[in-house]
Amino acid sequence: MSHCKTEIQYRTSNKLVDTVNKLIVWGVGTTRTLRVHWMLHELEIEYETRAIGPRTGETQTEEFKSLNPKQKIPALIDGDLVVTESAAIMRHLRRICDRLPYDQYQQSVAGLAEYDEWLSFMLMELDATSLYVVRRHGDLSGIYGEAENAVTSSIAYFERMLNSVVDRVADKEFIWGTTFSELDIHMAILLDWGGYVGAGIPDRLSDYHDRMKSRPAYKTASELNFSA
């Protein structure tokens, strides 16, 4: 994989330099870590992986706690900078590497408002308040407790929210503007995850979902993320 060095404008202490740090990603094995590995592969950035997994105790070592006191993966180390939260890490990677250029709409006020709307919607409505509730009281019920009603109603909520945006995704090449972006990564992984927990995924999203999953970066990153 080549590095983004030649295309990069990397900001350190207000100075633009043309070199980048060797990036290190902590974390594998979850949908949230997959987001970051997928983006790195789309950008063709070389990086190292510290293959720690969730609920293995590996997020509670002194070394990792000093990097991320939240004790959560993924975390990205970029020189002196530690970036946590998968969405923030993906945004950071887009800023330090311009291999996926933004189109004119994506840079416009309207485009940025749409970006913020999609990101809030996917992180809050489709992830935190629905699929993650299913995870907590489904696969992780040993830790968070059984709550069958919460699981059932969260799946229904996910389906309702997803159905509300079908027209904005189906038949489109990409969710936002005319180029692939981290919003496609979020959506494709949410569709994977929704399918995994048994939520109904509208047929009209199949083409979009299949196209995203056929991207070489998705395949390579999934292999790395789930086999480690």
Contact residues toward ligand GSH (CB under 6 A) are: 30, 32, 54-55, 59, 71-74, 85-86
Q: Which is nearer to ligand GSH, 127 or 177 (CB)?
A: 127
Q: Closest residue to ligand GSH, Cβ-based?
A: 54
Spatial distance between the Cα atoms of 208 and 212, rounded to a whole number of angstroms? 6
Specify the amino acid at residue 165.
Answer: V
Q: Please, are residues 163 and 105 in contact by the beta-carbon 8 Å criterion?
A: no
- Shortest Å, Cβ 30 to ligand GSH: 4
- Shortest Å, Cβ 71 to ligand GSH: 6
- Shortest Å, Cβ 32 to ligand GSH: 4
- Shortest Å, Cβ 208 to ligand GSH: 22
Structure token digits, residue 111: 């485009």
Q: Order the strands of the 75-78 sheet from edge to edge.
A: 47-50, 23-26, 75-78, 81-84
Q: Which is nearer to ligand GSH, 1 or 124 (CB)?
A: 124
Q: Please, are residues 28 and 37 in contact by the beta-carbon 8 Å criterion?
A: yes
Q: Please, are residues 201 and 4 in contact by the beta-carbon 8 Å criterion?
A: no
Q: Which is nearer to ligand GSH, 86 or 106 (CB)?
A: 86
